[in-house]
């Protein structure tokens, strides 16, 4: 995808008209939330007429919706370069900066807009909200100077916590996760009930202690006739996670799983997802695996909802994939992170596979979800796709940063 097209020579009227037609077609795809198709057409419009700031700004918002924040930033900056007074481009760039954790730069863009358009109430509101975030971060940094960071886990006194008589939910047995516990927990969560905080804290403390002892790279051995399942992003879509287990069976020593990051955020049932996954990790530590995704970070949690719930991308081509595989003696790579209409995509001559397990992402994308199964004998990927299942009437990102929600609507 072109991002820094050079503007050389005059543009014919024919090209201008063709570009505008492509832009209008792209807008229709955007309205249908078919963002990849929209980006492709915006790019063709830019090839015809690289002097139109609107095309870059429109491609920027489409990239924002796909979480291609680096491209969104580049396109918004190009639109501003072409038209210094184009306020929408500043809004787009601010959203990209926010998503990348560059809050001061986002604030600078909003400050510019409020000066250029002093009567723009929306710009004033965005500037005020962004300024609050910048000041809050600065304050948190200031009060933490020269102070040893306190580990919250070390301050929790489980013995002092009592289980009230009225609590009738799942319970740990001798402080341990059992199959009975996790089975009851999943049903409990389906009824939108809450696990007792004593058990929740115990699970968090135990999984933290376990994961801290693990190496950053874990080798998994799969027996020749054994089945192994890889799932992609879950993104807080708890009821779709339950559907995966319904379709493919619960995790067990004979039904191992790998969840490939991005367990939380976006969907509004992240707590339910993470405690279910952590419980299975503690129950079957050698048969249940969790890779850390880009949403398992503080900044992402702050923006997309997990931090608010119960209290940069990089592109590469087949040459990079082949080099990586050759250097590490691997057959192929399975990645996630990116929405695919069919729930998965096979690229780079079959050597780079994307799997995305959150169907109808954010209740808007209309995509299928997918997971991959394979056996140890040949590790050939087999794909299972599925549609979204109903969930309680809680909107996606209900707990997200209000400022970011405002930008992305």
Token readout for 222 is 């799969």
Q: Which of 50-64, 104-118, 251-265, 312-326 has the lowest mean pLDDT?
A: 312-326
Domain boundary among 143, 164, 187: 143
- The model's pLDDT over 193-207, given as tens digits with 9 standing for 90+, comes to 999 999 999 999 999
Q: Picking from 179-183, 254-258, 389-393, which range would have the lowest pLDDT averaged per residue?
A: 389-393
pLDDT band at 311 (very low <50, low <70, confident <90, very high): low
Unique residue bearing structure tokens 């971060």: 137
Q: Which of 74, 77, 100 shows the shortest CA–CA distance to 89?
A: 77
- Do the domain assignments include residue 22? yes
**How many domains does the chain divide into?**
2
363 and 235 co-located in one domain: yes
Report in angstroms the alpha-carbon separations of 242 from 172, 246, 304.
21, 6, 22
Evaluate whether residue 194 is within a structural domain. no
Which residue did the predictor score with more confidence, 56 or 131? 56
Q: What is the per-residue pLDDT across 149-199, written as a single tens digit (0 to 9) for each? A: 567 777 788 888 888 888 999 999 999 999 999 999 999 999 999 999 999
From residue 181, alpha-carbon distances to 83, 98, 187, 275, 353 in Å are: 60, 40, 10, 12, 34
Q: What is the CATH number of the domain that holds 20?
A: 1.25.40.10
Active-site annotation holds for 295: yes
Q: Which of 235, 295, 337, 391 is catalytic?
A: 295
On whether residue 148 sits in a domain, the answer given is no
Please report whether residue 395 resides in a domain: yes
Question: Does residue 239 sit in the same domain as residue 139?
Answer: no
Residue 173 belongs to some domain of the structure: no
The pLDDT of residue 312: 47
Range(s) of the domain holding residue 69: 13-143
pLDDT band for 142, please (50, 70, 90 cuts).
confident
> How many whole angstroms separate alpha carbon 19 and alpha carbon 35?
18
Is position 317 within any domain? yes
Evaluate whether residue 81 is within a structural domain: yes
Q: Are 295 and 262 in contact (CB under 8 A)?
A: yes
85 SS3 class: coil
Categorize the per-residue pLDDT at 4 as very low, low, confident or very high, splitting at 50, 70 and 90.
very low
Q: Do residues 253 and 130 both lie within one domain? A: no
Domain-terminating residue out of 143, 158, 178: 143
Residues 130 and 23 reside in one and the same domain: yes
Axis crossing angle, helix 53-65 with helix 35-48, rounded to the nearest 10? 160
As a whole number, the mean pLDDT across the chain is 87
Please check whether residue 214 lies inside any domain of the structure.
no
3-state secondary structure of 204: helix
Pick the last residue of a domain from 143, 177, 210: 143
Overall residue count recorded for the chain in this entry: 409
**Residue 14, SS3 per DSSP:** helix
């Amino acid at each position: 995808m072109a991002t820094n097209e050079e503007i050389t020579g005059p543009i014919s009227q024919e090209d201008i008209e063709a570009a505008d037609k492509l832009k209008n077609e792209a807008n229709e795809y955007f309205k249908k939330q078919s963002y990849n198709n929209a980006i492709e057409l915006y790019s063709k419009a830019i090839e015809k007429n690289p002097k139109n700031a609107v095309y870059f700004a429109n491609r920027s918002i489409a990239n924002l919706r796909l979480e291609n924040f680096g491209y969104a930033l580049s396109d918004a900056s190009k639109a501003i370069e072409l038209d210094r007074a184009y306020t929408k481009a500043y809004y787009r760039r601010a959203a990209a900066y926010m998503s990348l954790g560059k809050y001061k730069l986002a604030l600078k863009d909003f400050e510019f807009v409020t000066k250029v358009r002093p009567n723009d109430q929306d710009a004033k509101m965005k500037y005020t909200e962004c300024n609050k975030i910048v000041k809050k971060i600065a304050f948190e940094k200031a009060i933490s100077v020269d102070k040893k960071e306190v580990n919250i886990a070390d301050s929790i006194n489980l013995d002092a916590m009592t289980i009230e008589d009225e609590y009738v939910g799942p319970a740990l047995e001798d402080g341990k996760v059992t199959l009975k516990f996790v089975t009851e927990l999943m049903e409990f969560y389906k009824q939108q009930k809450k696990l007792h905080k004593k058990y929740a804290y115990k699970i968090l403390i135990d999984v933290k202690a376990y994961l801290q002892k693990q190496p950053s790279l874990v080798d998994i051995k799969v027996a020749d006739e054994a089945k192994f399942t890889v799932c992609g992003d879950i993104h807080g879509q708890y009821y779709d996670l339950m559907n995966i287990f319904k379709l493919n069976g619960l995790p067990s020593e004979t039904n191992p799983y790998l969840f490939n990051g991005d367990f939380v955020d976006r969907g509004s049932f992240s707590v339910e997802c993470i405690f279910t996954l952590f419980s299975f990790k503690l129950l079957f530590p050698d048969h249940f695996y969790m890779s850390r995704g880009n949403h398992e970070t503080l900044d992402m949690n702050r923006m997309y909802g997990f931090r608010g719930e119960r209290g940069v991308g990089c592109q590469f081509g087949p040459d990079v994939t082949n080099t990586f595989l050759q250097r590490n003696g691997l057959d192929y790579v399975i990645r996630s992170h990116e929405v695919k209409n069919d729930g998965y995509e096979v690229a780079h001559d079959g050597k780079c596979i994307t799997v995305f397990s959150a169907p109808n992402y954010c209740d808007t994308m209309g995509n299928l979800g997918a997971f991959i199964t394979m056996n140890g004998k040949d590790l050939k990927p087999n794909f299972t796709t599925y549609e979204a299942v109903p969930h309680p009437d809680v909107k996606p990102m209900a707990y997200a940063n209000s400022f970011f929600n405002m930008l992305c609507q």
